[in-house]
Amino acid sequence: MNNPPWPKGKKLVHLDLKGAPPRVGYLHKLIELFSRLGADGLLVEYEDMFPYEGDLKLLQATQHPAYSREEVSSMQQFAQSKGLEVIPLVQTFGHMEFVLKHGALSSLRETASCIGTLTPHREEGLQLLMEMMKQVVELHPGLKTLHIGADEVYLLGEGEESKLWLSSPERTVEQLFLSHVTRVAGAVKATWPNISIIMWDDMMREMSPETLKASGLVGLVQPMLWDYTPNLDVEKTVSLLEKYCSAGLSDVWAASSFKGSTCVHTCVPSTRRHLQNHERWLQVAASVSAAVRLQGIALTGWQRYDHLSVLCELMPAALPSLAACLQTLILGQFSAEAQRRVTERLGIPSVEVEDIGSTSADDTLFPGRRLAELTVELDALLNSDDIRLFDNNMYVRGWFSPFHRRRKMVTSLITRQIHSQASTYLAAVQEKVEALREEMARLYPDSTAEEWIEEHVSPVVAPLQRIVEDFSACVTETQP
C-alpha cells in the first residue's frame, strides 16, 4: 500500500542506555549516522548512565562507569551540530527499577515486591523525581522537551497507602494514576514553563475522554502512543488518537520500533518485521483527522525490556533495520528507492542484517559492521541443530548418556568420536566468541561483552563442555 510520507514532525531515534551503553567515541559515530539516515532528534533514556550527583549518586551504574558530565555535554553538542534535538527521558512512575532497587529508597515502592513502581503518596517521592529531573535539565541547556515516562505502572493500587486512598467513595485506580502524573507534570511546568512534556500513553488507553478532561492533564502533557507490533491495528490506533484529541490532548506522538521488541533475548532483528510496523504507522498518520496534531514519531530501540532483564539486540545488528524504517517513513513506503538508499548509505547488499555477509571494508559507512557480522555468524552457529541438540543425538543418548557417565560404562571407540566432535564444535564457537569479545570491547564496556557471552553462549556450550569433561573422567577411570 502506498502512503504519504510521515507528516511534518520529528523523527526521533531512541537511545536506551540501560544496557550496553556505547563508548563515547562509538556513540558519536552512531549519532552522525542517525543524522545521515534522516533522523532529526534523539530520545535519550539515560537511566543509571546519567552522572547523578549528591544524594542521587547511588543511582549511577556500578558494573561500568556512568557517563561523565563532560561526556553528556559533548554528546548533546555533537548531536546539535548534526541537526538533532536531544530529548531526555526520565521515568517518574513505572519502570523505576534502577532507583527503587536501592535499599535506601525501597520505602518509596508501591509494594515491597515490585521494585519498578513508585508509590504516588509520599512527598519524598515527588522530591526525588524533581531532583532527578533538575539534574537532567540543568545538564541539557536550552532543553525544549522532556519525556516523563509513566508507562507500565504495575501493581498500582496494591500498596497499603493506595488501598486506603481507594477506600474513599468513587476513587479509582485511573484517578490515582492521573493524580500522580498531573502532579509531576504540573511541578515540571511550574519549574520550567517553556519545556514541553511527553508521556507514554498506555495507562490511559482504557480511560474515557471525560476522565481525561477532568484530570488536569490537558495543556500539560503530550501523549506518546506506542505500538511495536507488525500487525498494529490501524483502526484501533486511530480511534485512540482521536479519543485523546477529543479529551483536549490534541498534541500527540507515535512510537514505533526498529529493535528490542520481538523477544526479550533476541540477538538478530528482522528488518521485515519492523518495516511492517512502520508501514502500519504510516497508515495511521494518513487516517487521523486534521484535529490530531502529530508532533512526531520515536523509533524505539530497546536494549532491555526493563532494568533487570537480559540484553536485546545490540545496536550494530539493528542499524540496517533502523535505516530501512527511517527511509520508509521519509518516502511513505519501503520502495526500491528506499532500499537503494539504505544499501548505498550503509554499503551493504541487503537490508536484512543476516544477509550482509562478511567484508574487510572499514566501518565508515556502517559503524559497528564487523560486530554485526560476528553477531549473526555466532548466533547462527549457536542455533544450529548440530550444536544445540548435540547432547540429544543418537550417539550421545545411545552410548554416552547420563547413566553411562555416572557408572563409567562407556564404549571407547564411540565415545572418542563423540568427544572429538564436541571438541571441534567448542573450538569453532570459542574462535567466534573471542573475535566477538574483541570487537565488542571496542564499542562497549567490557561488562557488556561478559554479559552477552554469559547469556547467549554459556548455556548453549555448557552441555558440550560437560561431555568433554565427563569423557576425560570416564577414560581416566577405565584405563587398563
Known catalytic residues are 152
Q: Are 249 and 222 in contact (CB under 8 A)?
A: yes
Backbone angles phi, psi at 464, to 5 degrees: -65, -45
Helices (H) and strands (E) in the chain, counts: 18, 10
The single residue listed with the C-alpha cell 573450538 is 427
Element of type H or E holding 259? strand 251-259
| CB contact burial 52-63 (16+ within 10 A = b; e otherwise) | beeebeebbbee
The secondary structure of 153-193 as a DSSP string is: -TTTT-SHHHHHHHTSTT--HHHHHHHHHHHHHHHHHHH-T
In this structure, what C-alpha cell is assigned to residue 310? Answer: 537480559
In this structure, what C-alpha cell is assigned to residue 185? Answer: 507534570
Question: CA 146 to CA 92: how far, in whole Å?
Answer: 12
Instruction: Decide: residue 440, CB within 10 A, 0-12 exposed, 13-18 middle, 19+ buried.
Output: buried
Instruction: Decide: residue 103, CB within 10 A, 0-12 exposed, 13-18 middle, 19+ buried.
Output: exposed
Strand partners, 222: 198
In this structure, what C-alpha cell is assigned to residue 224? Answer: 506518546
Q: Are 148 and 223 in contact (CB under 8 A)?
A: no
Strand partners, 11: 297
Backbone angles phi, psi at 199, to 5 degrees: -145, 150
The single residue listed with the C-alpha cell 520515536 is 298
In this structure, what C-alpha cell is assigned to residue 348? Answer: 551493504
Written as one letter, the residue type at 180 is H
In eight-state DSSP terms, residue 83 is: T
Question: CA 244 to CA 204: how far, in whole Å?
Answer: 9
- Of the candidates 223, 237, 315, 326, the residue with the CA atom closest to the CA atom of residue 274: 326
> In the chain, helix, strand, coil percent, each to 5?
55, 10, 35
In this structure, what C-alpha cell is assigned to residue 441? Answer: 570491547
Element of type H or E holding 3? none
Instruction: Report strand pairing: 114-118 vs 109-111.
Output: antiparallel
In this structure, what C-alpha cell is assigned to residue 398? Answer: 545411545
From residue 205, give the alpha-carbon distance in Å to each of 200, 273, 322. Answer: 10, 24, 27
